Chain A
Amino acid sequence: MNLRHLWKPLIVLSAAVTSGGALAADPQVDVRTSLGTIRLELYPAKAPRTVENFLQYVKDGHYDGTVFHRVIDGFMIQGGGYDTSNRQKPTRKPIPNEAQSGVKGGLKNEVGTIAMARTADPNSATAQFFINVADNTFLNWGDPRSDGHGYAVFGKVVSGMDVVNKIAKVPTGPGAVAPRDVPRQPVVIESMSVVGGK
């Protein structure tokens, strides 16, 4: 039997669903913060392990009650690691850095993109992330000014960029977790959830 023939109706059906836009393969996540909601779109085809890791933390509720603890206007806002009592939350083991395949797929540290934070070790990202508020090309794999490894972008803000910019502009100074760039009033991630998730 010719299976191609058998599958024809399904292909037509799939095409119909796709044209309606209901078949987005790129997951979206709502980040509800004390200053408003940011909606992220994630790109598993270009950074699968990073997206999988981030979604697992979302699902586990890891980010609920964490803060943006490092905020630098004109650069980025970083969060997802500390709770409101400035305690570092436990994480799973680090993931490999996908900055290279991301850049090759077109994911760069541009305004509104989200990337994984890490230490000097290129493969040390766990839960902390940052959202770029400038085109930070020096964070891209392959950029001559990069550290040779780059920071892995895995999604971007699709709505709520005004909230991101509002966070970027909050007054900062020395705090419990760092000697500078810590918001004077905590900016809290109240919850994160997958849009349309079960």
Chain B
Amino acid sequence: MAGELFVSDLHLSESRPAANEAFFGFVEGPATRARALYILGDLFEYWIGDDDLATPFHAVIAGFLRRLSTSGVEVHVMHGNRDFLLAQAFCEASGARLLEDPVVVPAGGVPTLLMHGDTLCTRDVDYQAWRSQARSKDWQRRFLERSLQERREAILALRQRSREAVKAKPASIMDVDPGAVEEAFRRHGVARLIHGHTHRPGHHVLEVDGRRCERWVLPDWYGTGGYLATVEGSTPRLVRFS
């Protein structure tokens, strides 16, 4: 079954041993039998720069991916809203290739649009403003110039503010905007989209300009976790860990 596996929103962190153990089991189990593994954002709870590879936990995670990639499985990593500073040194340590967002790849023999998913949440205007700031060269340069400790503190403060902001937002704002989804299908001319970010796993079928399109949303690993598997000639399969 040498197809592709898709995961996102693992949010790996030293303080979440259950998710880490699920990840170790996944990369030593199902992932070894895949042709390619696509991590569509937020592999880590947060990533404050590649120099944080010096943290043993991060080196261990990169090590698990390195062994997988060395064994011949392609490993692709896309930035999420938590780990958008993953860069070259992480790729060298893990053997992963950095994916652009959005990108179209063949999955199960079907051209498939991959996204983290945060750019589809266009109704969350505050978040989109923050995103465009944080993805700017200037912001990243200034952020990375600070010490690891300062960056860690800044991210913790940011997460606290974000948690408070999320509490104050209606759930509908946090989900994808249907118009943005349709626009993505239209712009990329595909009939299948896979993304994460919203923590609302599922399979949605919609019609765009008379074409049947399907959107697969990946599960987060805060709960039991899981992945999507694509194999040529078969319907994608959403697998949840029990």
Contacts and interface: CB of A to CB of B under 8 A. Distances in A.
Interface of A: 3-4, 6-7, 9-11, 13-15, 17-18, 22-27, 42-49, 51-52, 55, 96, 101, 105, 194, 196-198
Interface in B46-74: 50-51, 53-60, 62-64, 66-67, 70
B56 A17 contact: no
B93 A14 contact: no
**Which size class do B's interface residues fall under?**
20 to 34
A103 B146 CA distance: 40
Nearest to A27: B56
B193 to A, nearest CB: 19
- Residue among A11, A18, A25 with the most chain B CB within 10 A? A25
Q: What is the interface of chain B mostly: helix, strand, loop, or mixed?
A: helix
A52 B58 CA distance: 10
B140 interface: yes
B150 interface: no
A45 B63 contact: yes
A197 B140 contact: no
B169 interface: no
Contacts of A6: 135, 137
Contacts of A55: 56-57, 60
A116 B28 CA distance: 19
Given A3-B100, A14-B51, A48-B66, 6 more contacts: A6-B137, A10-B88, A13-B141, A13-B144, A25-B53, A197-B56
